């Protein structure tokens, strides 16, 4: 596990709180505004950042994050641009874990060795590659792990049976539990099913486990924080950006402040006592 990720969970445990991860798409709605949003998230309590690598066919993402990817692509964001944003973020925030989340096709086109090297140079701590099952990820997973990048696995309600050990075999950093069967931002997570899932996950791994997909409000986050080691919020954050872009080009600082206010409320909800 990368030092930044392990320290993040250790600090939260000592403070009797869950970890808060926030997903945003790199370059949404512009590179300048996206950088300001990242800074605001860190300043307002985000414990780690999932930086989405914009992709035109994001099969696991709901309408909000699909639209975020398209806004970023229209503004010229690329995989290289995402890596450049990651490097700039690392310069400004040396201690905050940074995880790249996306799909394999752009990485394959970039070159897996070149991508791993660039991600390490940029200060990235881990990868979440949504469309690479364990049986198909040898081109990326083994080399990324050997180089020092955590390969964070997604576990869904349908992988909690015999397949769970297979999915977790090469997992690093933390386990990302997808709390709904479906795409991001379309349903709400039920705490009773999350609790049952975590009992099963903790039978198989000592890695911390976080819950994502379907968490939109501080109240929902507070309930899940009682069960999980961490909570990830994405679509609800991206929706704030989407609303700001509805009828005008938003001011970057005002948009960053609005996202930061929401993040602060979520961070407060991570406290267990």
Which residue blocks in 78-140 are alpha helix, DSSP H? 79-92, 104-110, 112-122
Cα–Cα distance measured from residue 129 to residue 151, given in angstroms and rounded to the nearest whole number: 8
Task: Compute the half-sphere exposure of residue 49: CA atoms within 13 Å on the CB side of its CA.
Answer: 28
Cα–Cα distance measured from residue 122 to residue 120, given in angstroms and rounded to the nearest whole number: 5
Choose the catalytic residue: 50, 125, 223, 229.
50
- Residue pair 139/109 in contact by the 8 Å Cβ criterion: no
Task: Give every CB contact of residue 137 below 8 A, 6+ residues apart in sequence.
Answer: 104, 129, 151
203 included as an active-site residue:
no
φ, ψ at 212 (rounded to 5°): -140, 180
Choose the catalytic residue: 28, 31, 47, 61.
61
Q: Which residue has the tokens 């790199």?
A: 26
CA angle 204, 150, 57 (to 5 degrees): 100
50 included as an active-site residue:
yes
- Residue pair 164/213 in contact by the 8 Å Cβ criterion: no
The catalytic residues are 50, 61
């Amino acid at each position: 596990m990368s030092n930044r990720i392990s320290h993040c969970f250790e600090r939260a445990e000592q403070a009797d709180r869950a970890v808060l991860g926030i997903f945003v798409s790199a370059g949404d709605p512009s590179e300048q505004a996206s950088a300001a949003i990242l800074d605001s998230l860190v300043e307002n309590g985000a414990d780690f950042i999932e930086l989405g690598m914009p992709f035109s066919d994001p099969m696991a993402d709901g309408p909000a994050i699909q639209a975020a990817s398209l806004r970023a692509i229209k503004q010229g964001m690329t995989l290289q641009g995402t890596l450049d944003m990651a490097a700039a973020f690392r310069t400004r925030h040396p201690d905050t874990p940074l995880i790249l989340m996306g799909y394999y096709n752009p990485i394959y086109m970039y070159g897996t060795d070149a991508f791993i090297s660039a991600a390490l140079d940029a200060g990235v701590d881990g990868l979440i590659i949504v469309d690479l099952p364990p049986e198909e990820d040898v081109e990326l997973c083994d080399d990324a792990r050997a180089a020092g990048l955590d390969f964070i696995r997604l576990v869904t309600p349908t992988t909690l049976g015999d397949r769970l050990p297979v999915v977790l075999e090469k997992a690093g950093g933390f386990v990302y539990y997808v709390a709904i069967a479906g795409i991001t931002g379309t349903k709400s997570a039920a705490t009773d099913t999350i609790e049952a899932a975590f009992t099963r996950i903790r039978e198989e791994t000592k890695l911390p486990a976080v819950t994502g997909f379907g968490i939109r409000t501080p109240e929902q986050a507070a309930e899940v924080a009682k069960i999980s080691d961490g909570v990830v919020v994405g679509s609800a954050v991206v929706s704030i950006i989407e609303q700001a872009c509805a009828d005008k080009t938003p001011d970057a600082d005002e948009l960053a402040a609005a996202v930061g206010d929401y993040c602060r409320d979520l961070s407060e909800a991570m406290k267990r006592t």
